[in-house]
Amino acid sequence: MSRTVYLIAYDISDPKRLARVHRLLMGYKIGGQKSVYECWLTPGELAEVRLRLEGLIVPDADRVHFLQLDPRMAMRGFGKAVPAAPGYFSIL
């Protein structure tokens, strides 16, 4: 099954909801920091993450952005940035 890379960024106003969103995305991320994570997702995983996030956030107070990245573009890093290896990985 094909995976696509997404950046998922969030701004959650309530500390309890923030912790729940953070815990959820920790299970899918392969990189990132603070409230922006790089996630390689199948279409089914993307649908699951969106559905689960809808149940965790308050739309009038919180924001979650999904940015689909073009895998054909060259990765550029600054500072201590290290590109993620495109090989096999497993989400448990």
Pairing relation of β-strands 29-33 and 63-68?
A: unpaired
Q: What is the CATH number of domain 4-68?
A: 3.30.70.240
Domain ranges within the chain, ordered by starting residue: 4-68
9 or 84, greater pLDDT: 9
Rounded mean pLDDT of 39-54? 94
The per-residue pLDDT for range 3-34, each reduced to its tens digit, is 888 999 999 999 999 999 999 999 888 877 88
Q: Once rounded to an integer, what is the mean pLDDT over residues 65-87? A: 73
Percent of the residues in the chain that have a pLDDT greater than 90, as a whole number: 53
Rounded to the nearest 10 degrees, what angle do helices 43-54 and 15-26 cross at? 170
- pLDDT above 70 covers a percentage of the chain that reads 80
